[in-house]
């Protein structure tokens, strides 16, 4: 347990220094930074060789943090969360608190509440801001299902690599992604 807490603290310290971390999420390994720091977001895009204008996901700890980053919170968000069967990212109009280079061309952002993933949840609580989460791969390459599948250039490019979960062989998959429509219904973008 001591190692777990040390890793949380080290990750938060790197994030506060506006650095990029490589870390385990509730789905796949991700590259992350403080969602309110445009230069750190830019570093992630360069590391991934990702074109500008392609949105990323932001992890949040709870509904209050979701509300900070969503221009409008869906009225039925509690029902959507209660009904989800697996990690789900909700695409909504983004707020002014987000780094502008995180938003899609249409001004939306993908937000995912990770209160059931202890590491991410604790990092988010300590950081107090949303955490960028984009798969730890070069843009256009397959998403690595385990730490061992991550391209060495991604590992070298991160400022801090979280030391827990690297031996986990569970083959996780990316989150389900849905766009929340004005009437509260959802359009599945990735299942």
| CATH assignment at residue 163 | 3.90.870.10
* 56 or 153, which is more confident: 153
pLDDT tens digits along 159-183 = 999 999 999 988 788 899 999 998 8
Model confidence at 55: pLDDT above 80 = no
Report the alpha-carbon angle 85-90-94, nearest 5.
165
Give the model's pLDDT for residue 101: 94
Confidence tier at 2 by pLDDT (50, 70, 90): confident
Q: Is the pLDDT of residue 4 over 90?
A: yes
Domain that holds residue 98: 2-190
pTM here is: 0.95
pLDDT (mean) for 153-160: 97
How far apart, in whole angstroms, are the C-alpha atoms of residue 140 and residue 163? 26
* Total number of domains in the chain: 1
């Amino acid at each position: 347990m001591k190692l777990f807490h040390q890793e949380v603290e080290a990750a938060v310290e790197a994030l506060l220094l506006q650095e990029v971390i490589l870390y385990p999420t509730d789905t796949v390994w991700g590259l992350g930074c403080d969602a309110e720091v445009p230069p750190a977001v830019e570093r992630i895009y360069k590391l991934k060789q990702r074109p500008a204008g392609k949105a990323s996901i932001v992890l949040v700890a709870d509904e209050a943090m979701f509300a900070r980053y969503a221009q409008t919170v869906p009225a039925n968000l509690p029902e959507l969360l209660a009904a989800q069967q697996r990690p789900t990212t909700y695409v909504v109009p983004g707020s002014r608190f987000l780094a502008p280079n995180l938003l899609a061309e249409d001004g939306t952002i993908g937000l995912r509440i990770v209160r059931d993933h202890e590491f991410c949840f604790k990092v988010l609580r300590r950081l107090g801001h949303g955490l960028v989460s984009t798969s730890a791969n070069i843009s256009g390459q397959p998403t690595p299902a385990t730490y061992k599948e991550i391209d060495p250039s991604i590992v070298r490019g991160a400022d801090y690599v979280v030391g827990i979960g690297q031996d986990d062989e569970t083959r996780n998959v990316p989150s389900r992604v849905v766009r929340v429509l004005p009437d509260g219904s959802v359009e599945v973008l990735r299942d």
